[in-house]
Chain A
């Protein structure tokens, strides 16, 4: 089955700096890669996603890149702000009858003012 690894497990950056979180996956058939943000005590919420037919996607300060050959994808946050502090989860899934997301273990991002 699919296995998703995520690094680093914790990340601290100064406000205004960039943050990068990396994930690797094992199943080459996976073709949908969402990123979720979970604030303390809240539900996970989708912040950006990418499909395997695209190498990069950007939404304001957030971007995701995908390298299918190497089976890894990354989340990039620029000009970080204190409200970006949260746990970020990557996930992978593939075409099938259903949407079995396999989540990474999460990265706790702290943006220091």
Chain B
């Protein structure tokens, strides 16, 4: 298995532009997570999906952020318009949740390093 795949790996954009980050989870996993990592705030969960349905988006910082999961093998995180304070590494992770069982291992993608100028 190729693991969690994210694209692009690096993104440099100007303030006000739209940014779209992409993620392909591990095949067979039914949960997908978007995290943001910065030096100041550490690893923050932005949103997670289970069976393509958003379960908790309370970590999404503001309306400029949106995420979708149209099918089991693809998710996007969009920032529109982007701002310099959005600069961070964005990780996607996936896992398989069995029923309502306890947490299961989350496998992280390589991340997208975003720089908003």
By a beta-carbon cutoff of 8 Å, the part of chain A in contact with chain B is 31-32, 34, 36, 42-46, 49, 51, 89, 93-106
Contacts and interface: CB of A to CB of B under 8 A. Distances in A.
B26 to A, nearest CB: 13
Contacts of B33: 99, 101
B104 A99 contact: yes
A100 B43 contact: no
- Secondary structure type dominating chain A contacts: loop
B106 A99 contact: yes
Interface stretch (B13-21, B64-72, B94-102): B94-102
A100 B100 contact: no
Nearest to A6: B42
A59 B108 CA distance: 21
Contacts of B31: 98-99
